[in-house]
Copies of this chain bind each other. A is one copy, B any other.
Amino acid sequence: DFLSALEEVKPLFGAAEEELGKRLLGGIINYSTFIDDILEEGRLYTNQVRKPGSTPILSVALHGPPGSGKTALAAKMAIDSGFPFIKFVSPEDMVGFSEMQKVQQLDKIFRDAYKSTLSVIVIDNIEMLFDWVPIGPRFSTSVLVALKVLLEKQPPKDRRLLIFATTTERSVLTQLDLFHRFDAEIAVPNVNTQAELAHILQHSGAFADRDLQRAIGEIQEITGSAEVGVGIKKILTGIETAKQDQDMPGRFARVMSHAIAVNKA
C-alpha cells in the first residue's frame, strides 16, 4: 500500500544523498561560463518534468571526455531538483552481478522510482553498466536491451521520472541505437584554455602566482601548444601529486603534459 511504499522510498533517498555527496568531493568550480549554462539546462529539464500534464518521462545524456566532470554535474543536478526520490545507479554497485541480476536490479530501481510522484535516476557510466569493451566489441546484450526499454517505458499514471545518464562513449551509444532514445543531450567539455586552467589552480590555493604562471608556461613548452585539453579530474589529482614534489610547478607541468599527450594518443 501507499504508506509502506513511502517508507521504502525514504531511506533510498537518504542513501542517495550520501552517494551523491561522494561524487562531489571536488566541488563544482566555476572555471568557465559554460558550467553555469550546463546547470541551467539541468534546471530546465527538471522544471519540464515537474510540471503536471507534460510528458511523464524525460531522459538526458551527459557526455564528454574522461574526467571532464560528467558525474559531478549529474549529481549536482539531481540534488538541485529537490525531487523526493533520487537514485544513483553505478557499475560499482553491481560488481560480480550476473547479467540477469543487473537487469533485475535496474528493473527494481525503476519500479521503486514509480512509487514517488517525482523521481530522478542518475545512471553513471552507462556503457560500463552493459560491460562495453571496445575489443570485439563486447557488451551485455540483455543489459543494453533492458536499458533501451526502461528509457522509453511510460510510467504509471501520475508518476513523473527524470533520468540523467553519463557516458564517455556517445558514438558507441549511437551505433548501438541507444543514444537517439534520449530526449536531450548535454556536452561536458575538457578544460581547454590556459585561463580556465589558471582559474582552477588559483581556486586550489596551492600555487603562488608566480609558480602558477611558470607551471602553465612549461606545459605550453612541453606540449608545444596553448590549448590544454584535459579533464578537471586529472587536474585536481595532478595538483596533489605535485604537492609531494619539491619542485611543485615543474612536477605539475610534467604530469599535466603527460596526461595531455596520453589524451591525444
Contacts and interface: CB of A to CB of B under 8 A. Distances in A.
Interface string A162-201: 0000000000001111001001100000000000000000
Interface of A: 22-23, 25, 44-45, 47-48, 51, 54-55, 58, 66, 91-92, 95-96, 98, 100, 103-104, 106-107, 128, 131, 133-135, 137-139, 141-142, 144-146, 148-150, 152-154, 174-177, 180, 183-184, 236-237, 240-241, 243-245, 255, 262, 265
Contacts of A245: 44
Given A92-B149, A128-B145, A244 B47 contact: yes
B175 A134 contact: yes
A243 B54 CA distance: 10
A184 B96 contact: no
Nearest to A146: B95
18 contacts: A47-B244, A48-B240, A48-B241, A55-B237, A55-B240, A92-B149, A92-B153, A128-B148, A131-B142, A133-B141, A133-B144, A133-B145, A133-B176, A134-B176, A134-B177, A135-B139, A138-B141, A180-B262
Nearest to A22: B154
A47 B245 CA distance: 10
| SS class, residues of chain A in contact with chain B | helix
A128 B144 contact: no
A177 B141 contact: no
A23 to B, nearest CB: 8
A4 to B, nearest CB: 23
A141 B141 CA distance: 13
B91 A145 contact: yes
Given A96-B146, A141-B131, A244 B44 contact: yes
